[in-house]
Amino acid sequence: MSATPTIALIGASGHGRRHRQNIAALGDRVRLVALGEVQPMFGEELPVYDDHRLLLAEHKPDYVVICTPPHTHLGIALDAVHAGADLLLEKPPVLDVAAHERLSAALAATGRRCQVGFQALGSPTLPALAALDLGELRHIAVAGAWWRPLSYWTRSPWSGRRAVDGALVNPFAHALMQALAIGGVRPPWTLELERFRSRDIEVEDTAALRLTPAEGPVVTVAVTLASTEFIAGDITVTGTRGTAHVVYPEDRLDGAVLPGRVSLLENLLSGDPLLAPLSRTLPFTTLAEQIMAAPDPVPLAGVAHDDGVALPGIADLVRAAAARHALLSEVGDLPCAS
Ligand SMILES: NC(=O)c1ccc[n+]([C@@H]2O[C@H](COP(=O)([O-])OP(=O)(O)OC[C@H]3O[C@@H](n4cnc5c(N)ncnc54)[C@H](O)[C@@H]3O)[C@@H](O)[C@H]2O)c1
């Protein structure tokens, strides 16, 4: 009889708490043996290591969940792979294509597997959408409008920081990845990008992009974190024979909520082909690298709202941009700060 596989969680205090719940929900299918966390964890019963290398050496876990800040992912992932673990690595997996290639090479050399935490790739809407007869895909348009208070941008040392955070590469990363996956979109492409900020941050909280690949559908994205009106994350897919609407956080396709979301951790443990393997995220990382290398976001003048600044009417602009495959500046005037 083979022993219960072991798992370690590195980055346990933030979103890592959710991973801990997910691990616990698997019961005796996997045994959580240790935590990696650089902050003190008072009253913790499991062993906690502030040096993940020591954790890996002492426990040799079969699986490692990495839920640390994005700029720390590559180093920890390489160490875990070389220690013989398969990974569930949070998104964004790495911050540039060179890092993607380093990690890919390490996976190939060791035969380990890496699932990336793009949970929307476990959505039943993806196979259901592929089964619809939409013809050749022409456009994929994403609209998202959320509210994030100022405290969101100060919650962690990396929040709102250049080259690591931003509405497109962090909270709306799932929307971006989903759109790229639906269209099978790969570089080379032409990127038109607009980044705006209504807060005192280094990155965008409001943005639009239009991605025109050499082959495949054009992807447009319009998103904001400064809206008092909520748009969950609506993806409109237009083909030569029809149109479909996906709301990716809700597993909704053309109005109906589909059952059967596959957990990425269960998929990893099962040994089945991965739903979100590192290789599938190369277009995302290519795009994320371009976004983070773009000029700084343009400041906008919002209005005070709760603990933050809101952009009145921004949800309408987001919807209009998505409907017209347009950038935000092409559908209206944004209140640029003077
Ligand atoms: N899939 C999702 O929906 C989702 C949601 C939220 C966050 N995330 C991702 O999860 C990751 C973590 O995000 P967060 O919001 O929890 O960040 P966070 O900063 O709140 O938490 C990260 C934790 O990692 C710890 N840490 C930092 N360096 C470490 C190291 N070298 N070794 C061990 N621990 C270390 C920090 O002390 C902190 O507790 C990011 O990549 C983020 O994008 C994904």
Name all domains of the chain by residue range, CATH numbers in brackets. 6-116 (3.40.50.720), 124-256+278-330 (3.30.360.10)
CA-wise closest residue to 202 among 145, 144, 153: 153
Pocket of ligand 1 (CB under 6 A): 10-11, 13-16, 36-39, 52, 67-70, 72, 90-91, 117, 119, 156, 170
Please, are residues 12 and 43 in contact by the beta-carbon 8 Å criterion? no
pLDDT in tens, the chain (338 residues): 469 999 999 999 999 999 999 999 999 999 999 999 999 999 999 999 999 999 999 999 999 999 999 999 999 999 999 999 999 999 999 999 999 999 999 999 999 999 999 999 999 999 999 999 999 999 999 999 999 999 999 999 999 999 999 999 999 999 999 999 999 999 999 999 999 999 999 999 999 999 999 999 999 999 999 999 999 999 999 999 999 999 999 999 999 999 999 999 999 999 999 999 999 999 999 999 999 999 999 999 999 998 899 999 999 999 999 999 999 999 999 988 86
- For the chain, how far is it from start to end, CA to CA, in angstroms? 70
Cα of 276 from ligand 1 centre, angstroms: 19
Alpha carbon nearest to ligand 1 atom 20, residue: 14
All residues at 6 or more sequence positions from 169 whose CB lies less than 8 Å from its CB, including other chains: 92, 176, 288, 291, 292
Please, are residues 246 and 167 in contact by the beta-carbon 8 Å criterion? no
Q: What is the pLDDT of residues 198-253, one digit of tens each?
A: 999 999 999 999 999 999 999 999 999 999 999 999 999 999 999 999 999 999 99
Rounded to an integer, what distance in angstroms lies between the CA atom of residue 261 and that of residue 258?
A: 8
The residue type found at 46 is: L
CA distances from 168 to 67, 196, 203, 275, 329 (A): 19, 11, 9, 22, 17
State both tokens at 227: 């809206």
Alpha carbon nearest to ligand 1 atom 22, residue: 68
Cα of 65 from ligand 1 centre, angstroms: 11
